[in-house]
Amino acid sequence: MADVPLLIEPDILENTIGSNEFLIIDLSKAETYGKLHVPGAVHLDYAHIVAANKPVMGLLPDDATLQGVLSAAGCHRDIHIVAYDDEGGGRAARLLWTLEIAGHQHLSLLNGGLHAWANEGHPCDNTPVTPTPATFQVRHNDAPLATREYILDRLDSTATALLDVRSPDEYHGIRKYAERAGHIPGAVNLEWTSTMDQQRNLRFKPDAELRQLLSAIGITPEREVITYCQTHHRSAHTYLVLKHLGYPQIKGYAGSWSDWGNQPELPLEV
């Protein structure tokens, strides 16, 4: 399993179907899963891997909740988890980021997700899979996690880059989904779908193209990069893009703008 890449292609995944070393988790909409899914994939509702403290959304569940959800899905310490969804990878990436924080090391994202799998003729099933319960124990790894306090301490640091992957209208405060609109001071904007290859079933764009796209806005490997969106759903996908590219210092902001934008004392720009 050590040789399984973070970004796995459908052809490679097809060869693992039926292996007890792999657990395939589908985070598509329930109705999509009921129509077609990767054979053997268990379904996991995205709502079960995020928590809320309204108006702040997209927080990490507590340990007991997370352990219960992951154990029921069949996760355990030694299994390699491959996640995918039907939307380009945001929900699947959020699961993998959460698993990384929980200390799980064997993780992959299906490149292109269900779009690539189904559109390229790989076998599909519509029979629900009942997971075999396991025992998952959270072992905290806080390296991938950024908090508002962590960001505040680094607002004036040129060593840290803030990457806002919401739409330009959200970034510039034209669209408002929190008490306040705008963006974290110093953050640069790259809408999350910009990293997807629309001609290749929503796969990641080629590495060279991704590096050029990021470098053009100052997101370079020597800097610590913190990704955020509205709830760290879209930005979890961007976190995985950076991880795939080998960026050594990356974090995701749980809660994201739903946290920052609802704190009246925090600075912002529009």
- Catalytic positions, written as ranges: 229
Contact 110, 83 (CB under 8 A): yes
**Residue 93 in tokens:** 């990436």
- For 116, residues 6+ apart whose C-beta sits below 8 A from its C-beta are 10, 110, 200, 201, 202, 203
3-class secondary-structure state, position 14: helix
Torsions phi, psi for 263 (to 5 deg): -110, 105
Contact 231, 58 (CB under 8 A): yes
Integer angstrom CA distances of residue 30 from 118, 128, 201: 16, 10, 21
Contact 129, 43 (CB under 8 A): yes
Contact 6, 99 (CB under 8 A): no
Q: Report the alpha-carbon distance of residue 177 to residue 256 in Å, rounded.
A: 12
Residue 270's Cβ-count burial label (10 Å; 0-12, 13-18, 19+) is exposed
Name the amino acid, one letter, at 62: D
Cα diameter, the chain: 53
Q: Report the alpha-carbon distance of residue 216 to residue 56 in Å, rounded.
A: 32
